[in-house]
Amino acid sequence: MVLSTKFTNEQQQQALSLVLQKIDFITTLMLVPLDTAFDKLIHESVPYLLNAKKLFDHLHNYIAKQAHKLSVTEKKLLFDTLRLVDGIAEGTLADLCLFANQAGEIAPLKNLLPSNLNTPTG
């Protein structure tokens, strides 16, 4: 999977796996050797794992429907993780539906903050 080499410790992998399972995403911590029959079967069954954009789109659908199940810490973990995925542009992350707007509706991040907001530096 696209994320596998980005995490160096098992604790990070397990935390992410638990968050994804909480939003009904199926995960495993099993290491699958590349270019094996099992690897081929997985990628034939779940082709979006080979493409960062398709993976993001698939995750985005799960997150948008299930964001209410996640704590702020879990949402931050998902956001930080997706930032590490090769092939996902920073601007794409603004489309994530993680938090609710003032009306209580889950909305894309880009719609929650004014575009002219001055943020502190340093």
pLDDT tens digits for 81-119?
Answer: 888 777 777 778 888 899 988 898 999 998 887 666 565
Distances (CA, A) of 15 to 1, 52, 61, 77: 16, 21, 20, 8
- The mean predicted confidence, pLDDT, of the chain is 80
pLDDT band for position 12 (50/70/90)?
confident
Whether pLDDT at 4 is above 90:
no
Note whether 64 and 97 are within 8 A (CB).
yes
> What is the percentage of the chain residues whose pLDDT exceeds 90?
10
